[in-house]
A = this chain, B = another copy of it.
Amino acid sequence: MSKLPFDPIDEAQRQWVAHGWEDAAPGMAAVTSIVRAHQILMARVEESLRPHDLTFSRYELLQLLAFTRTGALPLSRIGARLQVHPASVTNAVDRCEQRGLVKRVPHATDRRTTLAEITDPGRELVSKATESLNREVFTALGLDEEAIGELTGVLKHFRQAHGDFS
C-alpha cells in the first residue's frame, strides 16, 4: 500500500482548473474520491471476509436472504435489490450452492422463477462474517459519527437523484 506524498485528487483538481475546466473540477474530485474510497473499502472488506472464504458479493447475497422472513427470494428480486445483472446473480448463487450455503427451489406457481433459499450452514457463516465486518470495517472507518452521517446523507441524495429508489 504505497503512500503518495501528496493528495492525487488535489493534484487532479489543479490540473482540471489549469485546463479551463473549473466548472467540472469539483465533480471530478467528488467522483474520483468515491472511486478511491471504494477501492480502499473493498480491499478491507475482502480482507475481513477472506477467513470465511467469502467474497463481498456472496456475502451480500447471503445477508439479503438471511434478512428475509422465509430465507428465500426469486433470483430476479435479488438482482433488483443488489442492483446487479441477472448473470451476476446466477454466478453468485451457483458458487454459494456448490458450498451448500444456499439452495435453488422452484417457485410454487410461476415455473419461470427460481428461488434461492439460504441453508442453516449459510446462516451460520453469514452471522460470523457479519461479526467480522462489524468489528474490522464498519466500526473502524476512522471517521467520527458526524462525518459518517454527513457522508451517508449526501450519498442518499445522490442515489435518489439517480433513481436508486423513490
A residues bordering B, Cβ < 8 Å?
A: 1-9, 12, 15, 21, 23-31, 33-42, 44-45, 67, 80-81, 83, 130, 133-135, 137-143, 145, 147-152, 154-166
Neighbouring B residues of A67 by C-beta, 8 Å:
12, 15
Neighbouring B residues of A162 by C-beta, 8 Å:
40, 44, 142
A-B pairs with beta carbons under 8 Å apart, 11 shown: A12-B67, A15-B67, A26-B145, A28-B133, A29-B152, A30-B143, A33-B151, A33-B152, A35-B41, A36-B159, A147-B157
**Copies of this chain held together in the complex:** 2
Task: Return the chain B residue nearest A28 by Cβ.
Answer: B138
Query: Measured between alpha carbons, how far is A34 from B31 in the docked complex, in Å?
Result: 11
Neighbouring B residues of A1 by C-beta, 8 Å:
163
Contact of A34 among B133, B142, B155, B165 (CB under 8 A): B155
Neighbouring B residues of A27 by C-beta, 8 Å:
134, 137-141, 148
Q: Is the CB of B154 within 8 A of A147?
A: yes
Neighbouring B residues of A158 by C-beta, 8 Å:
37, 40, 141-143, 147, 151
